[in-house]
């Protein structure tokens, strides 16, 4: 399955592309930036979060809501990254001894389908 992703790196860089081999339990996956290019190897240790998106363009005018309740998506969580960015959503698989975990946005209409957060890139994690 081909997934559209936007990678946010710990050094602040952002890269968009597709991946067919991302697995949360693997340290490496491949990103294809554009059609016809060779995939590049991505090491999770260099990544802050992997955003699985509906489109690369997004919806600039959309104001993401964090006050919506999504039943069946797990516990509500607030992730604060080391760079100060925060991500609110729901998770079913957070554990401090795992390298990462999925967060599903509070707002089903936002461009993010789900976000794989790298635990080492976080400053603080709170259940809301």
**pLDDT, tens digit (0-9, with 9 covering 90-100), for 72-97:** 999 999 999 999 999 999 999 788 88
Q: Is the pTM of this model over 0.75?
A: yes
Of the candidates 86, 8, 60, the one whose C-alpha atom is nearest the C-alpha of residue 17 is 8
- DSSP letters for 112-124: EEEEEEEGGGEEE
pLDDT band at 17 (very low <50, low <70, confident <90, very high): very high
Q: Is residue 101 pLDDT above 90, yes or no? A: yes
pLDDT, residue 36, reads: 72
What are the residue ranges spanned by the domains of the chain? 3-57+67-127
Of the candidates 89, 99, 92, the one whose C-alpha atom is nearest the C-alpha of residue 122 is 99
Give the pLDDT confidence of 21-59 residue by residue, as tens digits. Answer: 999 999 999 999 977 789 999 999 999 999 999 999 888
In terms of C-beta density within 10 A (0-12 exposed, 13-18 middle, 19 or more buried), how is residue 4 classed?
Answer: middle
């Amino acid at each position: 399955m081909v997934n559209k992703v936007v990678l946010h790196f710990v050094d602040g860089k952002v890269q968009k592309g597709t991946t067919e081999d991302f697995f949360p339990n693997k340290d490496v996956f491949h990103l294809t930036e554009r059609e016809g290019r060779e995939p590049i190897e991505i090491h999770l240790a260099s990544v802050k979060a992997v955003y699985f998106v509906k489109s690369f363009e997004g919806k600039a005018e959309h104001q993401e809501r964090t006050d919506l309740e999504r039943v069946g998506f797990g516990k509500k969580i607030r992730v604060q990254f080391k760079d100060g960015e925060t991500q609110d959503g729901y998770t079913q698989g957070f554990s401090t001894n795992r390298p990462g975990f999925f967060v599903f946005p509070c707002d089903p209409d936002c461009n993010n389908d789900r976000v794989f957060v790298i635990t080492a890139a976080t400053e603080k994690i709170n259940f809301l």
